A and B are shown apart, each in its own frame.
Chain A
């Protein structure tokens, strides 16, 4: 075998690549031995061995999809990798990390989830734009900067939130002393008078873990699928990606409706 001394970085081959672990901070290696993994479309960068990538609508995979895939409406964004060999996953040079769940549950922003083992069940979260994984197994998530784990009670910046495990209390928190009243309205509307941009947070209480990315640059949202248009279903009736714009949801500053509500008009 030819060698290339001084090539600098480590040269990997199937025997030196890790099994279901990171190759570097941005690349993850999955070993398939006749097993299957779900992955987001187009995140495979290279593989050794023989593998097949099939869209979720593939007939042979129907049973697998029924047991571990419960978001039928965004199935077209996912593929099933099957075969044997080692596969490298990466996403636009973002940090990738794997997490293990043991009889647990974790809710994650839809754009951050890269891949998961079929022993986990993927479901749409009640929170629009988020997906929930339930069961035992490994999944791979991307984040903009390394992930930090925090214990509730905690208030986090919406753009830094990646997901949360085992704590069922995500709620909005507004800095009311700062945001209400005439001055608050003007601040939010104009950005003048010292709006800090941190008047709104997500709040978590109870036992569990909150995952944050160390940057406030959001990953591109993946459509998490529309939900049935029924009374009592949050985000119901909204087209995918346009959820959370009902009355009561925070509106963009500059919309008159906000100001009217503040002034009690």
Chain B
């Protein structure tokens, strides 16, 4: 059972079950806990190879036991996500913890990843359970529906959930090369039905410079 203690510490109550969490993110625990490094995020040999090839690497540990375990990472804001059979797409660097029952994998993101310097792949989380994602500043959750498509700055995007199509928009024109660009040359447009998480801060990316 995930719960937030303040906005920057995740508390997980466990009764013999397990969670997957970012390596080294445990700050305290109460009770009996065992920590085990998961090579390749517990996705097996195939997952390990995929992650190595795609560059979407993450080091996870499995925490198992009885009691309460607290997680935090560099005072990042933590957001809880409930999954009910749907899929969450998140940057591996923004993932803090998931229920061990959730499946993680990698997926191709196309040009969006390239524009924010995160590589061409992203992490997917699937199944029934809870996940905790991190953001620089509290995330704003924006709903996307058929009448309300959403456009997001790649540097502020952290995750999305639901049945969404994403397309990459580039506003690079000859003016960009003359130093008079609009400053928002790369954007991702989400259409469909779901929610998008954005953080009130932009990662350094090549998109931020044009």
Contacts and interface: CB of A to CB of B under 8 A. Distances in A.
A92 interface: yes
Given A26-B200, A46-B156, A12 B143 contact: yes
Contacts of B175: 55, 57-58
A58 B171 CA distance: 14
Range, interface on chain B? 35 or more
B12 to A, nearest CB: 15
Interface in A184-220: none
B125 to A, nearest CB: 14
A42 B208 contact: yes
Contacts, number: 140
A10 B71 CA distance: 23
A223 B198 CA distance: 28
B198 A88 contact: yes
Contacts of A54: 182
Range, interface on chain A? 35 or more
Interface string B70-90: 000000000111101010000
Interface in B44-97: 79-82, 84, 86
A56 B152 CA distance: 22
Interface in B100-144: 136-143
Interface stretch (B22-30, B34-42, B189-197): B189-197
Contacts of A2: 86, 162-163, 193-194
A6 B82 contact: yes
Contacts of B182: 41, 52-55, 79
A1 interface: yes
A93 B181 CA distance: 24
B134 to A, nearest CB: 12
Interface of A: 1-2, 4-14, 23-27, 39-42, 44-48, 51-58, 76, 79, 88, 90-93, 96
**Top-4 shortest CB links A-B:** A93-B137, A41-B183, A90-B200, A53-B182
